[in-house]
Amino acid sequence: MYKVTIQSTGRHFPVAPGETVLEAAQRAGIALPYSCRAGVCGSCKATLIEGYCDYPFNPPVALSGTSPAQHAILLCQAVPRCDLTIEAREVTSVEDIARRQVDVVVSRKWMLAPDVIGLHLKPASADARLTWLPGQYLDVLLDGGRRRPFSIANHPQADGTIELHVRHVAGGGFTSWVNDTLQVGDPLRIEGPLGTFVPREDAERPMIFMAGGTGFAPVKAIVEHFIALGTRRPMHVYWGARQAADLYMREQAERWAASAHDLSFHAVLSDAEQALASGIRPGFVHEAVLQDHPDLSGYDVYMSGPPAMIDAGRKLFTGAGLPEERLYYDSFDYAPDVLAQILGNRAGIVGL
Ligand SMILES: Cc1cc2nc3c(=O)[nH]c(=O)nc-3n(C[C@H](O)[C@H](O)[C@H](O)COP(=O)(O)OP(=O)(O)OC[C@H]3O[C@@H](n4cnc5c(N)ncnc54)[C@H](O)[C@@H]3O)c2cc1C
Ligand code: FES
């Protein structure tokens, strides 16, 4: 067993042979940031102060472009080769919530947009109720150990109802099954809560929220949480999609803007013709954020949605002065097993 120490807090935990730093931290009840668990999104990036590690599973794709002098480490893939000292941001608010596998039943299924399905899941029994923080996600457990991650679109309800917004991915096995076959009354097994995309309440800074497509789901949960708290912090909510129909809860977001204290809502469409026809602002959603807020140094930014949007936000927002530690995100990548297969195929092709 090797030992990993977090330099700033002095907290430490043992890592079993072959275990990743993230898995070992979770086993020890220490919450370090993560999202995709596949090495591609970069949300688990930390600084390696001392020691060495290997990447025996997926290659650390999210470190490409990082210079060796920056001593970066990807916690979800790094397996220590000796004792390590790291610097990482702990997300203590999620530490006390136990992750559980529970059975749920589909209690409602409806079309939110032409390719987005809304699902309500109810606990199958009284002890199958999940607790979560707004913005966290769950895994739907499938045969053969496969999992499909989806963000929870609501905050915890008295009856335990979980709301999901599921985009039907072309060629996607699970989401096609949800679209074509899943019915009200069907059972599902889920595990949660997962992820560290949660509200940070230790500051008074204004906040920017940027969602792409169904990335609106966790943003909705977090914004509703801040509204329920009666926050006085200004909130600027941006939601980007290709066409107007994809902004499937636009009226709800407009109601927030009309009733909440200092909240503005901005819809953005990337399809220029659709934008012209609907009168909605044209362009990419990250461009709209930067046009309105060219200096992001005084903000906290939350973003979730497709990997391309997240990549653009990571690069451009930090370039506009946003400190990296105040950028919180969930990248809607494919499931870890699918990414492992894709990365494995790619490594085989290029002879890595
Ligand atoms: C933290 C997180 C939260 C998320 N939250 C949401 C959410 O709230 N709503 C939402 O809609 N989505 C969300 N996603 C994305 C969602 O998990 C994926 O869309 C889902 O896993 C797709 O499952 P599937 O079985 O339908 O597709 P899969 O069968 O996994 O296939 C996905 C795609 O990959 C392709 N593919 C599969 N295998 C290979 C291979 N070997 N090589 C090349 N291509 C391949 C398929 O053709 C298909 O296009 C989230 C993702 C993450 C990581
Ligand atoms: S790269 Fe590690 S969680 Fe995404």
List, chain by chain if needed, residues with CB within 6 Å of any ligand 1 atom: 35-36, 137, 148-151, 165-167, 169-175, 195, 214, 217, 330, 332-335, 338, 341-342, 345
Which letter does DSSP use for residue 294 in this model?
A: S
Ligand 1 atom with the shortest distance to the CA of 152: 8
Domain ranges of the chain: 2-90, 100-194, 207-331
Three-class secondary structure of residue 299 per DSSP: coil
For position 66, what pLDDT does the model report?
A: 74
Instruction: Take residue 39 and report the two structure tokens written for it.
Output: 């090495």
Helix (H, G, I), strand (E, B) or coil at 44: coil
263 CA distance to ligand 2 centroid (A)? 31
Query: What is residue 340's predicted lDDT score, i.e. its pLDDT?
Result: 87
Contact in structure between 328 and 301 (CB atoms under 8 Å): yes
Give the whole-angstrom CA distance, residue 115 versus residue 98. 33
Q: Out of 3.40.309.10, 3.40.50.80, 3.30.450.40, 3.40.50.2300, which CATH number does the structure's domain 207-331 have?
A: 3.40.50.80
Q: What class does CATH assign to 2-90?
A: alpha beta
Mutate to test the pocket of ligand 1, among 137, 168, 169, 179 (most ligand atoms within 8 A of CB): 169
The pLDDT, as a whole number, for residue 65 is 77
pLDDT value, residue 69? 66
Beta carbon of 43 within 6 Å of any ligand 2 atom: yes
Number of Cβ within 10 Å of residue 113's Cβ equals 20
Q: pLDDT tens across 259-312, in order?
A: 999 999 999 999 999 999 999 999 999 999 999 999 999 999 999 999 999 999
Residue 155 in this model has a pLDDT that exceeds 50: yes
Strand segments (E) across 39-146? 45-50, 53-54, 72-74, 79-80, 84-87, 100-113, 116-123, 137-141
Q: What is the pLDDT of residue 346?
A: 74
Closest CA to 22 of 154, 195, 187: 195
Residues 6 or more apart from 245 whose CB is under 8 A from it? 113, 114
CATH-assigned architecture of domain 100-194: Beta Barrel (2.40)
Atom index in ligand 2 nearest the CA of residue 33 equals 3
The mean pLDDT of the chain is 94
Task: Give the pLDDT confidence of 86-101 residue by residue, as tens digits.
Answer: 999 999 899 889 899 9
- Percent of the chain scoring above 90 in pLDDT: 89
Q: Please confirm whether the linkage preceding 123 is cis (ω < 30° from 0).
A: no
CA–centroid distance, residue 61 to ligand 2 (Å)? 9
In angstroms, what is the span from residue 45 Cα to ligand 2's centroid?
7
Q: What's the pLDDT tens digit per position in 10-63?
A: 999 999 999 999 999 999 999 999 999 999 999 999 999 999 999 999 999 999
Task: Give residues with Cβ within 8 angstroms of 47, minimum separation 6.
Answer: 70, 71, 72, 73, 86, 87, 88
Q: pTM, whole model, 2 decimals? A: 0.94
Could you tell me which of 14, 69, 76 has the C-alpha nearest to residue 44? 76
Ligand number nearest to the C-alpha of 333: 1
Ligand nearest to the CA of 345: 1
